[in-house]
Structure 1
Amino acid sequence: MIDEKKLIEKLEDEILRIDTESTPGCGNLYGRDASVMKNTLNFAIDLINEQPKVGEWIPCNERLPEQSLNSVFGYDTFRERCVLVQYYMNNWILGNHETVNIVAWKPLPEPYKGETE
């Protein structure tokens, strides 16, 4: 897993460096000039931004999980806390079938598998 925000920051720093320096050898790097390198880095940033974000909260007005009894983490505004919740039949429910007001959610992490010998 990578920190996409740090990667984007590093790529943006590289774009600024290309802008502010005479980047020695830049014109010869894989036969590309500075503008092509900047376009390529911007393209990479766009691709990263389009990917689903691991571990980030997903606002409900942006996207909902599939309807199932699989649990996700949800932020409940009534209780002002994170809860383990299911999205089922267009409702957010706790394990005791109580409905809650979830405004953002995120999938549970992958289960720990331990080390294989």
Structure 2
Amino acid sequence: MERLTHERKSGMKTGYWSPNKKQELVDRLAMYEDREDAKDTNVPGKWIPCNERLPEVNIPVLAQWGIYYSGENRIEILYLNEFGRWHGDLGEPNGKVIAWMPLPTPYEKGE
């Protein structure tokens, strides 16, 4: 991403300044605000409540679920099958899945 602001260090002032037009800065800020407000499932780090939307079938996601008998929360990789049941490496969770988020893209050498 191209940086729009530059650090200013003079004897009297410190902070940031921009040689670019004000509108370009405003447009960039709006882009970030729109992304933050969006319910985009491709943005890592945003939990999506199950009562709002469920993930695609058979796609692994990071899921948070509450254990029935203790109320403790767990987080693990699960997927929703075609019958609407959650599964993971250890089988079905013994609780209710509360929210989920997409997994990040895998690391690639050179990143």
Same fold (TM over 0.5): yes
Label 1:51 to 1:90 Cα distance change in 2 as closer, same or farther (>3 A). Answer: closer
More helix by share: 1
Matched AA of 1:85: L
- Distance in 1 (CA, whole Å) between partners of 2:84 and 2:65 is 16
- Distance in 1 (CA, whole Å) between partners of 2:78 and 2:50 is 13
Pairing of 1:20-31 with structure 2 (within 5 A) = none
| Counterpart selection for 2:78 from 79, 85, 88 | 85
| Counterpart selection for 2:65 from 56, 76, 100 | 76
Q: Report the alpha carbon displacement of residue 73 of structure 1 after superposing the two structures with TM.
A: 0.8
Q: Secondary structure at the match of 2:34?
A: helix
Partners of 2:44 and 2:103 within 8 A in 1: no
Normalised by the size of structure 2, how large is the TM-score?
0.56
Q: Which residue does 1:98 correspond to in 2? A: 92
Q: Report the alpha carbon displacement of residue 46 of structure 1 after superposing the two structures with TM.
A: 6.7
Q: Report the alpha carbon displacement of residue 56 of structure 1 after superposing the two structures with TM.
A: 1.0
| Counterpart selection for 1:47 from 31, 34, 38 | 34
The 4+ residue runs of structure 1 with deviation greater than 6 A are none
5+ residue gaps, structure 2:
2-21
Label 1:66 to 1:45 Cα distance change in 2 as closer, same or farther (>3 A). Answer: same
More strand by share: 2
Q: Which residue does 1:62 correspond to in 2? A: 52
Greater relative contact order structure (CA < 8 Å, 6+ sep): 2
Q: Which residue does 1:24 correspond to in 2? A: none
Normalised by the size of structure 1, how large is the TM-score?
0.53
